Structure 1
Amino acid sequence: MTQTATDAATPAASPEYLDMRTAPRLCSLSRRTLDAAKARGELPFYKIGAKVLIARADLTAWMEARRVDVRADVARIEALAAGEV
C-alpha cells in the first residue's frame, strides 16, 4: 500500500490513554508530581497489570482545575489596596 501526500500530512490521532512516560512529558511536569497527585487521589488512573495509564481527558481536567486566573488575583489585590475588602 502506498502512502499519499494527504495521508502523510494527516497527523496521527492522539492516544486516549497515556502511560507514565508520556503523561509527564505532555504536561511538562515530573513523573514524581503526577505520582503524588495519583497518591492523593487527585488524578484518576487505570492500572492494568503493572501498566499505569491516565486518560488524556483526566489529565487535562486535572491541569485545568489548577489554572490560576491572574486577572482575579490582580482584582483582589487592587480591592485590598483600596480597602474594599
Structure 2
Amino acid sequence: MIKLIEISGDSCASCHALLPGLNAVANENGIALERIDIETSPDAVEKYGVERIPTKVLADGEKIIAKCSGFQPEEILSLWVEAKLEEYSKN
C-alpha cells in the first residue's frame, strides 16, 4: 500500500501549516497519509534518514519511493507526489 508519510514535530510551525495541503494531496491521489512525530517516535529519524523537519516520504510498504524535506505549498507537493507515483509505476 502506497502512503505519504509526514515526519514532523509538535513544536514545528511549518509542519502544522503543511498538514491541510498534505491531506488534500493524499486524498487527490488516493493514498493514505501517516503522521510521525519525532518526539514520540525518535526511531523514525534513522529509519527514514530525516535531516530536518518536516520531511515527507512516499513509501510502498517499507520501500521508500521518494523523500523531500522542508515546507512546500500544496501545488508543489501535488506535482511532486504525482511525478513520483508516475515514475514508480513505470518500474
TM-score range, shorter chain: 0.3 to 0.5
Q: Which structure is larger by alpha-carbon Rg, 1 or 2?
A: 1
The structure whose residues are more often helix, as a share, is 1
The structure whose residues are more often strand, as a share, is 2
Scaled by the length of structure 1, the TM-score of the pair is 0.36
